[in-house]
Amino acid sequence: MRKFETLTSWAATLPQPNIDTAQLIPARHLKTVKRDGLGRFAFEAARYDKKGESNPDFIFNQSPFDKAEILIAGANFGCGSSREHAVWALADLGIRAIISEQFADIFASNAPKNGMLLITLGRDEIAELMQRAKSKRVRINLPSQIVEIEDMQVKIPFEMDPFDKKCLLEGLDQIALTLRQNAEISTYEARWEKKTPWLFHD
Amino acid sequence: MADPQAKTLFDRIWENHVVGQRDAVTSLIYIDLHLIHELSSPQAFENLVLNNRKVRRPDATLAVPDHNVPTTDRDKPVKDPESALQIQLLEENTKAHGIEFFSMHDIRQGIVHIISPEQGLTQPGMSIVCGDSHTSTHGALGAWAFGIGTSEVEHVLATQTLVLRKPANMRITVKGELLNGITSKDLALHIIGVIGAKGATGHVIEYAGPVIEALSVEARMTLCNMTIEAGGRSGLVAPDDKTIRYLKGRPRAPKDGDWDKAVAFWATLKTDAGARFDKEVVVDAKKIEPQVTWGTSPEDVISISGRVPDPTHFENPERREAAKKALQYMGLKPGTLMRDILVDRVFIGSCTNSRIEDLRSAAKMIKGRRVADNIIEALVVPGSGLVKAQAEKEGLDKIFKEAGFEWREPGCSMCLGLNPDKVGPGERCASTSNRNFPGRQGPGARTHLLSPAMAAVAAIAGKLADVREYE
Ligand code: SF4
């Protein structure tokens, strides 16, 4: 997994709440059996018009935000389906960090497993960031847990799940980590099977 | 007074599944049942093999194709090459790893959240996951069940565990009684309207109170299913006599001596009096009328007797903007009576409402009536082969077909339009499914969520209609 430490980039802003996974990537593109190449489908309905031309009103079609690696979005971002394709599509579009007032639960657990940093901030902080991000780049420092505007006028600390932080900083493979606890899992299984034998079949 | 020793039902299930503490806030959690379908699993199996890892508990895993299976011509090969490949990969991957697979030709095949309870695999006190957000459905039997992404599918395949932070506890107590014609779908939509699409984010909801106790197990499934639309990854109901009666004799329910042991264990699964919830909501069921959505989020919901709201009346500026956009997408004008909205298609199906009780309640409305002429297509898609067989035994298929409905093979179908069952651009669908997001049922499709009985009367009227006028 790609490591995340610091990032300075233009930030695209999408202020509306409830940006659901169908907006992030429509279901018809889930019929792939691969993870890559999904960036062209990200925000498909908003990004292109009916003829397939770029919609100039959409922020990801406007320079310099077409190169944005940071997205600042409205509350309840990523609600809806569990499709990890939503994260893969955003990552393939170039997004490495998303800032919102609130993320939907499943999206929030999918993102860090793909090296994507999610930052939750308060409503006023988001409003200010969105305003300033129109003309200035945004800088994220994960080790010190700070988001700032390039001109240093705004400096906002953020909270972070320590486990997610460690995985992002070190680019850890979570399955390899868990497999180190194999013995512990076996001990648990023996205990649980004793209590609920009907849950174990061979 | 809150008693610090008292536990909620969810606290108990969580504690039972902690393998170990990871750090101050995360735990390694054991998973009892892992359900798999064709859409969210190919990349997980691919990585598993790449890393030379094995499936830890094939015996605790079941796979079924449902999301993009065709609902007609099951005897012919699947036409769409991408769907065919996903279905084939699911079969190959599960075979290679010794996982049980219900093929499209097996009568037990159906939507993953329908078939697991039906087989008796879903049981109280279990932890259940599936790469699908509506896994919350299984909470109806007192299980802790939640949707996961593909990386987590891979994690569970390899380790039978997940690394999790404990969600918060929320209780929704439903008082009073549901009036005539009001179903658990109306209750679910009403609750989402009250707490909002992110009202339960970060929480496990326990549904409680006299109305929940009075609901059938299937009706509880509809309610728990919709929990994710309120932001909650899982919703559950404490097991009771109905749960036990539901499970008794099902193929995968505990047998013989195990049955008594299991029943005794299930009896311990409840919330202590005085247990503390992080959030409590009380709903009065008597106030609930038949519900229908007008916008593009399940929280955009109103009674059938209401009118399309005026976005300028919303206080919150974001909500105002969102409502404006939603009405534009839906092609609706503020002030229009909901019951004046014409529909083009009707869909009765999905993991929310495709069980036998749902089909019975729709058929009851349809019996002796005809689908209106303006309806392009009215579909009934049973949740599983077994639901379909039961409905046919009861003659429900005839009622639907005589009225002008299509009677199909089980699968997700028009809920997300991955197979040929789609709603066309700009077309309006009265749907018993769970999401009215833009493009959910097909690009440009307009969805109105409602109960099976309400979908049935919409088909008859050719527009959104009030079920209470048809009884
Ligand atoms: S019926 Fe719809 S909501 Fe349910 S699992 Fe299938 S696609 Fe998802």
Q: What is the pLDDT of residue B1?
A: 56
Residue whose CA lies nearest to ligand 1 atom number 4? B351
**How high is the pLDDT of residue B417?**
87
Q: Determine which of A62-66, B29-33, B70-74 has the lowest per-residue pLDDT on average.
A: B70-74
Average pLDDT taken over every residue of chain B: 96
Q: Given its phi and psi angles, is residue A9 left (phi above 0), alpha (psi -120 to 50 degrees) or beta?
A: beta
pLDDT tens-digit readout, B131-147: 999 999 999 999 999 99
Percent of chain B with pLDDT over 90: 93
ipTM of the complex as predicted: 0.93
pLDDT at residue B443 in the model: 92
As a whole number, mean pLDDT of residues A73-98 equals 96
CA distance B30 to chain A (A): 8
Query: Are the C-beta atoms of B457 and B465 separated by less than 8 Å?
Result: yes
Listed residue (A188, A191, A193, A196) closest to B254, CA to CA: A196
Residue B423 in contact with residue B442, Cβ under 8 Å? Answer: yes
pLDDT digits (tens, 9 = 90+) for B347-389: 999 999 999 999 999 999 999 999 999 999 999 999 999 999 9
Band of residue A54 on the pLDDT scale cut at 50, 70, 90: very high
Mean pLDDT of B427-440: 96
Inspect the interface and report whether the beta carbons of B19 and A185 lie closer than 8 Å: yes
Percent of chain A with pLDDT over 90: 85
Could you tell me the pTM of the whole model? 0.96
In this model, does residue B471 exceed pLDDT 80? no
How confident is the model over B4-34, as pLDDT tens digits?
Answer: 789 999 999 999 999 999 888 899 999 999 9
pLDDT of B147: 97
First to last CA, chain B: 45
Q: Report d(CA B192, CA B215) in Å as an integer.
A: 18
Average per-residue pLDDT in chain A? 94
Share of chain B above pLDDT 70, in %: 100
Residue to mutate, B39, B64, B227, B412, ligand 1, most ligand atoms under 8 Å from C-beta: B412
Rounded CA separation A185/B28 (Å): 9
pLDDT at A21 over 70: yes
Quick one: pLDDT band at residue B209, thresholds 50, 70, 90? very high
Q: How far is A37 from chain B (nearest CA, A)?
A: 13
Q: How far is the CA of B416 from the centre of ligand 1 (A)?
A: 7
Residue B371's alpha-carbon distances to B291, B376, B457, in angstroms, are: 21, 10, 9
pLDDT at A2: 80
β partners of residue A157: A146
CB–CB of B28 and A82 under 8 A? no
Average pLDDT of span B430-439: 96
| Unique residue bearing structure tokens 């929704």 | B172
- Is A26's CB within 8 Å of B159's CB? no
Computed from CA positions of residues B294, B300, B304, B305, in that sequence, does the dihedral angle turn out positive or negative? negative
What local confidence, expressed as pLDDT, does residue B2 receive? 63
Confirm or reject: Cβ of B9 under 6 Å from ligand 1: no
According to the model, what pLDDT value does residue B22 have?
84
Q: Are A175 and B53 in contact (CB under 8 A)?
A: yes
